[in-house]
Structure 1
């Protein structure tokens, strides 16, 4: 008889966990390990060899992955022609992180830059169509400081 669960969620899991649908989930895991420094936690292949479930850890957060499966309505960003969501991750050194990811095949959509909210921030698309934002937090700003920075940013855009 199985042991009863001690919690509503498995040990080590966050209550909210991104679940990425990939065209080629095994290749996506390999990319995330190389480019993002993720740690693979396991893969569960289905009878057809495609991944029914897999997990990686990135900066202490768990991300689940699955292969695209039209029978169950699970489509990758490539099937939709883009992604409607992005995954945000804080990293210790965004510049080194972005350089490694780009060298491994990530498309840099917004290069690392200091932002008015106190982070050095960048955005990229992985080879599987998922959009990611990464940041290194640099300054703890008050809401007033962020609002002033946002206004200055808007003024620069209007120029």
Structure 2
């Protein structure tokens, strides 16, 4: 009997539209240490229909932008949309080093690493394909009371 959930494909799997996807695959390998698992290429255009990469113990799906295959016929890459409301989050052993590696591979730093009130050292980069990545290292445990106190000190100015 076929397993309805393929091995290694549990939980949420982000599926990123990247333009061009082949360059994104190379970037994610350099910036985040991702390993390419598979790649399916359109026989006529050479564009990537589907790719899978492993980042740590998780899988990431990717494809080129194919508006012609979308129900609404519109492009869906962050570049075509003018940005994205989605952030891909990763915990890493060294947030500062991971941000530096991503930057040296071509990501843009949008929030330098800082120690946050919730107990993480946290920063954000945007990759060359318009996807936002938050990288964090958990540096201290915070009690619920400490969290509430810190949140009450936040200013929305």
Q: TM-score, normalising length from structure 2? A: 0.91
Out of 37-46 and 89-98, give the one that drifted further: 37-46
Residues 48-88 of structure 1, C-alpha deviations (whole Å, 9 max, x = no match): 21111101111211110000001023520000010121111
Gaps of 5+ in 2: none
Alpha carbons 1:38, 1:56 under 8 Å: kept: yes
C-alpha distance in structure 2 between counterparts of 1:138 and 1:151, whole Å: 21
Q: Under a length normalisation based on structure 1, what TM-score does the superposition of the two structures give?
A: 0.90
What residue is the counterpart of 2:125 in the other structure?
A: 124
Structure 2 CA distance, aligned partners of 1:16 and 1:9?
12
Q: How does 1:1-159 map to 2 (within 5 A)?
A: 4-6=1-3, 8-47=4-43, 48-73=45-70, 74-152=75-153, 154=154
What is the alpha-carbon root mean square deviation over aligned residues?
A: 1.4
Q: What is the rounded CA distance, in whole Å, between the counterparts of 2:66 and 2:17 in structure 1?
A: 9
